[in-house]
């Protein structure tokens, strides 16, 4: 009887360890090792789910954020300092999220901020608040202040969007922010209204031909 109880206890302990190991493995699979926030794999999985299950008329916004002049930080201060900057930036992102928002590391010095149930106006306000917060408060490393800024591209979902198309518009907006001098927020919908009429007409014709 005692031997049977011991065997059952050992089996229970083994199962608990196995469950813990599986849970840890799943967390590692969707977590960025450096910053501790979600990684690109989780970003695509979660964004796909949000787009598929959103209610009619419900918007999903994406903020694509890039640290300005990050390469000189690495070159001047070393990659260890660059890593500290990325960790601190991740912390600030997490502190600025609503309960339903998700911060992810997209790769390198790029981060994505997913905002369910957020239109472009709300997303732009949050992006500007993030940009201002990072510019106003330099990163402090070993008692030395390291000023830094970010550029942010904002896109809001259309009915037919996929993760790739939504992120592509955010990337185009981010590129515009970089080209215009960095340290600013650009909303993708604003870029659409600025396009020359002939360019917009050409795109519409192409879409019709594809359909």
Q: Would you please indicate which residues are annotated as catalytic (active-site) residues? A: 109
Q: What is the DSSP-derived secondary structure letter of residue 38? A: B
Give the tokens for residue 114. 């997913």
Residue entry with tokens 């007409």: 201
DSSP secondary structure of 65-132:
EEETTHHHHHHHH-HHHHHHHHHHHHHHHHHT--TT-EEEEEETTEEEEEEET--HHHHHHHHHHHHH
CA distance 160 to 166: 10
What is the phi/psi pair of residue 152, to 5°? -135, 130
Determine the 3-state secondary structure of 162 from DSSP: coil
Element (H, E) at 64: strand 60-67
What is the phi/psi pair of residue 121, to 5°? -65, -45
């Amino acid at each position: 009887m005692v031997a049977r109880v011991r065997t059952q206890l050992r089996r229970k302990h083994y199962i608990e360890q196995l469950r813990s190991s599986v849970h840890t493995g799943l967390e590692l699979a969707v977590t960025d090792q450096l910053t501790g926030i979600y990684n690109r794999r989780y970003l695509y999985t979660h964004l796909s789910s949000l787009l598929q299950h959103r209610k009619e008329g419900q918007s999903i916004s994406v903020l694509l954020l890039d640290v300005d002049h990050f390469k000189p930080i690495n070159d001047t201060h070393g990659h260890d300092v660059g890593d500290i900057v990325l960790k601190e930036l991740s912390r600030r992102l997490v502190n600025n999220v609503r309960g339903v928002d998700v911060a992810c590391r997209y790769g390198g010095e790029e981060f994505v901020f997913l905002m369910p149930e957020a239109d472009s106006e709300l997303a732009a306000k949050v992006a500007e608040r993030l940009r201002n917060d990072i510019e106003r408060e330099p990163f402090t490393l070993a008692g030395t202040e390291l000023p830094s800024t970010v550029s942010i591209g904002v896109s809001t979902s259309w009915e037919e969007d996929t993760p790739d198309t939504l992120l592509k518009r955010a990337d185009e907006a981010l590129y515009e922010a970089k080209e215009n001098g960095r340290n600013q927020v650009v909303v993708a919908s604003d870029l659409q209204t600025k396009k020359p009429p002939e360019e917009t007409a050409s795109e519409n014709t192409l879409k019709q031909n594809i359909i």
